[in-house]
Structure 1
Amino acid sequence: MHDLRKQVLLESGKTLSRKARSKQVTPSSSRANSAAPSGAGSRIPSRNVSDDEGDLSDGTQWSSNSLDELITRDPVDAVDATPEVWIADLHDRMNEVCDRKRSSAQGREDGLVGFIARLTRHYAQAEISRKMDELVPAILKSVKSGQTEKETGLALSALALIVVTDPSETIYDTVCGPIRTVITDGQHPQAKIAGIHSLSVATFYGGATMDETEEVMDFFLDIVSSDGAMIEEADNAQIVTAALEEWGFLATQLDDMEESTEVAMDTFVDQLESSSVGVQVAAGENIALLYEKSHTEVESDDEPEPEDPDAEMEPSNANGPRMVKRYTVYRQQHQLTQALESLAKASSKRLSKRDRKQLHLAFSDILNTVEKPTRGPRYSTARDDEGKEYGSRLKITIPGGAKMTIDKWWKLHRFNGLKRLLRSGFLEHYEQNEVVFDSLPVIVEDE
């Protein structure tokens, strides 16, 4: 088990200058490790559904946002039982998933719910690795020809959990095609959302090359720029939000985004005008990530000449290294700042109190980063007794009273991506699953 109280010095996800890249070869980190209208088109309000919401009452309406509720409703007590009990139950669930000869759609759904519950709550790499040759083909059959939206969506979620539990160099090649088919040609919006999230996980952990990762990011960007229309889901807020979120998650793997930043920024700035708070926030967080990536640590030969007024160097935070700006992220900075200021102070009556609070909190942070890219989320300029700025105050409480500090936007994107996948089992996987731990190397401090 990892010691969560140790300081992890590895900081992946940083932008490197061309000079730094010329001095070293960086391996691909992926190898290491009911439609709601929105969008710039319709401007009809939509609400981002939380993890524990969703209508499952009629057995046909299924939401990828309600997996926690499904897992909680799972009647088998083995989910949180002793290892001997939950492992035995996991084997039963795997056998149910693999045995399709006389199974019904309802039976396959129940088997997948139980399977997802075990893989979410427990780290079961040793158990599923022995069944991979049977599990993946069986689940792909439900992805390709599921009889219900729920079956297809659950199968996609199960695939993502398999990939993060037992990554391989080849699983991306196996699952990419069927998942993309669901996203582009499927009939069910919620299955497409599950497909977007599943494709992102398969790309990140399944052995995709950097070129393949960038191709998937371009696919997500096309979904966003068309407000979902390119996959026959025009003005679907949940579709656009999912594509934005997973674009940001995958972007944390890329070292240099200078060439792709201009097109991405135009798309994200456009989505700031969406009527969906979820779309606006996801677009804004991607903007903050791109500004963060435009700055890297100062190198020995980076000191600016006195006559160079455009050279920008500053400390990243109260105690961090000095950083230097590598390129311009967005040329219409003044207009962007005005838009972000407006969202940070949004007071429209059409917004609920919860949505206004979410906008104010998110865009205050995003604006802070756009104005000073070395500042991460929840950065506080207040000073302690020694006169130093507190810096990032976004801390995640973990068992035992310790705090996980999320002081960079790339860390926040990865934390949110892993939480979307692992939900209530995040901390269990963070402690036990080396792949998850290496994805989010952070400093954990005792209170």
Structure 2
Amino acid sequence: MTDLRRRALEGGKTLSRKAQSKQSSRASSQANSRVNSRNVSRHGSDEEDGNASDGTNWSVNSVDEVLALEDTDLAGTATDWQEELGDRIAQILDRKRSNIAGREENFSAYVRFLTAKYAAEELYGKSEELVGAFLKSIKTESSEKETVLALKALVLTIITITSETVYDLVDTPLKRTINDSKSSVTKNAAIHALGCATFYGGASLEETQEIMDFLLEIVESDGNSVGSGDDGAVVTAALEEWGFLATQIEDMEDSTEAAIEAFIEQLDSSEPSVQIAAGENIALLYEKSYTEAEEDEEVESYDGEDPEDESPRDGPKMVKRYEPYRRIDKLRHTLSDLASISSRRLSKKDRKSLHTNFSDILNSVENPTRGPRYQNAVNQETGKRYGSRMTIRIHRTGVMKIDKWWKLHRLQALRRILAGGFMTHYEKNEVIFDSLPYVEADALSVF
């Protein structure tokens, strides 16, 4: 890992206030129906889904175990996987001699290879043809399994071989699938694929904002805008990808209030995954309302922080730039209710997930410079608050602190794509590293 990559700036693409084209005020009315999906929340407990909380519990050791199993399935020796991947690629490109079952098998193997291995060399010179082959399967929808696997294969190809033009190739086909597919599972996968293609496929900031508007319309209409009314999985996917793309935009002042209104509506959902994704987006937007003070800017007090809290002063001073939402009391009340919800209709797992996540979200709305899993407890040795204690182990000794909501959004997006292959790609794929840069300072505190 080069020093340059270690010093990578946080935040990815940025957009100045002057450069950003102003979004028109949204006039869409809020749908009356609330999401009532049968899908189970994908935000499980800390022990079950690996979301780090107080300390590090998603470590490289567990990832290595997953990859060891993957490698056993993929090949008997260290080099066999490359040969087999080459054979699979050849079969994928020879579509005339294929059938549905064969394509499903080839796509499944391809997804396993590209998840567990960084295969840029093996894909070199073939990625454009592969994208074309995947789009044919996505367009024809011969079977749900083939289509979903093709969407996953497309995403993994995009993050393995960088291209500034792939977004232009996939934008229209993916939107068509989201709008027209009869399968909720396919729509869900296509929404995630569209988010990935927008982020990594060369979309301009204007195009990114257009996709965010498209996703927000899905949220505002409870999925009805794409023919999936009250489908919790589809609405959750739209919320998650909206938040992922929002991490690229520097100035969101003009669009924040309308977005928060839409997300607050989803806090009334009966589906925990929808509620949590909406809440995480609200926290991100509050975080974005604060920026670092300029060198020549005088800061008389540290806005939004407890005067007794010394830990934020260790970093750059942050200044509140605008009020994200005018009805803050209403929002606090709703978030507080979710942080202490005791409804019997919810499973123990869902209640715990809501309590943990909304305690964090409420804390960040009240103090926007505080990130996920912020601990108010004071370290007796330093006399300072512990601060954000969500961490990810890098190698055996390093620790990355997930102390910002933008970091959490990107980490979750990468884990949706890469699952157990995250660490392999993080170490070898510069595109993935640059999405979530590991700065040496992150490793200073190990809890």
**Where does structure 2 lack aligned partners over 5 or more consecutive residues?**
21-31, 49-62
State whether residues 339 and 358 of structure 2, in contact with CA within 8 Å, keep that contact through their aligned partners in structure 1.
Answer: yes
After superposition, residues 169-248 of structure 1 pair within 5 angstroms as 169-248=164-243
Distance 1:15 1:333 in 2: 27
TM-score w.r.t. length of structure 2: 0.85
SS at match of 2:337: helix
Q: Does the C-alpha gap of structure 1 residues 17 and 369 become closer, same or farther in structure 2, counting only changes over 3 Å?
A: farther
Distance 2:361 2:394 in 1: 26
State whether residues 15 and 293 of structure 1, in contact with CA within 8 Å, keep that contact through their aligned partners in structure 2.
Answer: no
For structure 1, which segment, 76-85 or 406-415, has the greater mean C-alpha deviation from structure 2 after superposition? Answer: 76-85
Matched residue, 1:350: 345
Sequence identity, in percent? Answer: 51
Q: Which residue among 410, 413, 427 is the counterpart of 1:414?
A: 410
Q: Does the C-alpha gap of structure 1 residues 267 and 375 become closer, same or farther in structure 2, counting only changes over 3 Å?
A: same
SS at match of 1:317: helix
Matched residue, 1:445: 443
Quick one: higher RCO (CA 8 Å, sep 6+), 1 or 2? Answer: 2
Distance 1:425 1:2 in 2: 21
State whether residues 390 and 402 of structure 2, in contact with CA within 8 Å, keep that contact through their aligned partners in structure 1.
Answer: yes
Cα deviation, residue 104, structure 1: 1.3
After superposition, residues 7-86 of structure 1 pair within 5 angstroms as 8=7, 10-13=9-12, 18=17, 41=34, 43=36, 46-49=39-42, 77=72, 79=74, 82-86=77-81
Matched residue, 1:165: 160
For structure 1, which segment, 294-303 or 340-349, has the greater mean C-alpha deviation from structure 2 after superposition? Answer: 294-303
Distance 1:422 1:263 in 2: 32
**Where does structure 1 lack aligned partners over 5 or more consecutive residues?**
27-38, 54-67
Q: Which residue among 426, 430, 433 is the counterpart of 1:430?
A: 426
Cα deviation, residue 106, structure 1: 0.9
Deviation string for 1:338-393 (max 9, x for gaps)? 00000000100111100010001000000000000000001112222121221110
After superposition, residues 176-325 of structure 1 pair within 5 angstroms as 176-303=171-298, 312=303, 317=312, 319-325=314-320
Matched residue, 1:109: 104
Q: Which residue among 389, 395, 400 is the counterpart of 1:393?
A: 389
Cα deviation, residue 78, structure 1: 5.7
Distance 1:305 1:381 in 2: 24
State whether residues 221 and 264 of structure 1, in contact with CA within 8 Å, keep that contact through their aligned partners in structure 2.
Answer: yes
Cα deviation, residue 180, structure 1: 0.8
TM-score w.r.t. length of structure 1: 0.85
State whether residues 215 and 242 of structure 2, in contact with CA within 8 Å, keep that contact through their aligned partners in structure 1.
Answer: yes
State whether residues 288 and 409 of structure 1, in contact with CA within 8 Å, keep that contact through their aligned partners in structure 2.
Answer: yes
Distance 1:197 1:302 in 2: 40
Cα deviation, residue 131, structure 1: 1.2
Cα deviation, residue 445, structure 1: 2.0
Distance 2:93 2:192 in 1: 23
C-alpha root-mean-square deviation of aligned residues, in Å?
2.9
SS at match of 1:396: strand
Distance 2:372 2:286 in 1: 12
State whether residues 268 and 284 of structure 1, in contact with CA within 8 Å, keep that contact through their aligned partners in structure 2.
Answer: yes
Cα deviation, residue 137, structure 1: 1.3
Distance 1:288 1:343 in 2: 14
SS at match of 2:375: strand
Cα deviation, residue 3, structure 1: 8.3
